[in-house]
Amino acid sequence: MKDLSDLKNRIQTTELKLVTQRNGSSVYEGYSPQGKVFIKITENKTANDRYFEILEALTDFPLTPNVLDQFEWKGLSVISMTAIEGMQADQALQNCTQAQKNALFYDIGLALGDLHHKIPQTDLLNMKFWKDRDGLSTHSALWNKQLDLMISKWVTRINPLSSDYQEFSSQLDELCQYDTALCEPAQLTLLHCDYIGRNILVGNDNRISGVIDFEAARIGDPIYDLAKIVWVNIDFSELGLRNAVLEGWECTYKQTVPKRKFLYYVGIQCLAAIAWTDTHCSSDGTDPIFRTSAIRTLKMVLNELHAL
C-alpha cells in the first residue's frame, strides 16, 4: 500500500490502523473531526461506486455506516464512512451459550428482514449497482434470469475429474429440476448476497450493531439472503438455530418463508461452495472441510425436499 501520509491529512487524522484486507480492498480505522471512521481503499472504482450508492440509499437504516466522503487518491478509490462498533458475528458466536446463539440468530433474521424493506422496489430499479453484473441487460431486473446466470457460472466451474464428483453430481442434477417450480418474487428487494458472520457486527449486548460489505449486492428474491446465512453460519442439522433466523426475518418482513424455495436456495449455495473450492485454494487449509460440509448439506436439502 502507498504512503498514507497525505491521505491522513485529507481526512484529518493522525493514524490509520489496518482493519482488514480482502479481494484487493483495504479498510482502515482512524479518527477524524467527525469521530471514529472507517476508510475503504480499493483499485476497483466500480465496486466502491456500488458501495457508495447503496450506503447513500440506506442512510435511514441504523445498522449501516454513513458515508462522509468519496474521492480518488493516487489512482485509488476511497470512501470515508462512520465507524460501527462491534465484533464480527462469527467470532461472537464462538463464546455464546446455546440460548445466546438462539437469540443472536433471531436478531440476525430481524435485521435482515428490516434491511430487505429499506429500499422500495421503485427506487431499486432506478439504481445502477445491479445493472452491470453477470452480463445482464441494463433493462432486465428478472430475478430468475439473474439466478440462471449465476447457476450456469458455478456449474461450469465444477471439476468433473475431482475424486468426489460422482458423490454429488447426480444430486446437483436433481436439485436443478426444482427450479421449474420457481416464480418471480412478488417484490424485488436489495440482496446483500454476503450476509454472513464476518459482515454482521454484534455489540456488547449480544444484539446486531452493524451490517457491512455490500460489494456482492444485487436485487432479487429476499429468501436467497436467508439461505446464505443459514448455509454458512449454521450446521444445517441444527433446526433450532435455523428456525431462529427464519422466525426473526418473518417478524420484520411480515411474510412466511416458503420452505421449498428456501431449501432450493440452500442447495444452490452448496453448489456455489463446491464450485468455489474447485477454483480457489484457501491459505488456512479449510477447503476440504468447507467442501465436505457443502456436499453433506446438499444431501440433507434434497431429503427435506423429498419429504414436502
**The three grid cell numbers given for residue 138, joined into one nine-digit string:** 441494463
Mean pLDDT, residues 111-115 taken together: 98
* pTM > 0.85: yes or no: yes
Q: 3-class DSSP state for residue 28?
A: strand
Architecture of domain 87-307: Alpha-Beta Complex (3.90)
Q: Which positions ≥6 away from 110 have C-beta within 8 Å?
A: 208, 248, 249, 251, 252
Give tens-digit pLDDT for 238-286: 999 999 999 999 999 999 999 999 999 999 999 999 999 988 776 555 6
Give tens-digit pLDDT for 61-112: 999 999 999 999 999 999 999 999 999 999 999 999 999 999 999 999 999 9
The DSSP letter of residue 256 is P
Cα separation, 277 vs 293, whole angstroms: 12
Domains 5-82 and 87-307 share a fold: no
pLDDT confidence bin for 34, thresholds 50/70/90:
confident
Cα separation, 31 vs 225, whole angstroms: 33
CATH match for 5-82 among 3.30.200.20, 1.25.40.390, 3.40.190.80, 3.40.630.10: 3.30.200.20
Q: Is the pLDDT of residue 14 over 90?
A: no
Domain boundaries, the chain: 5-82, 87-307
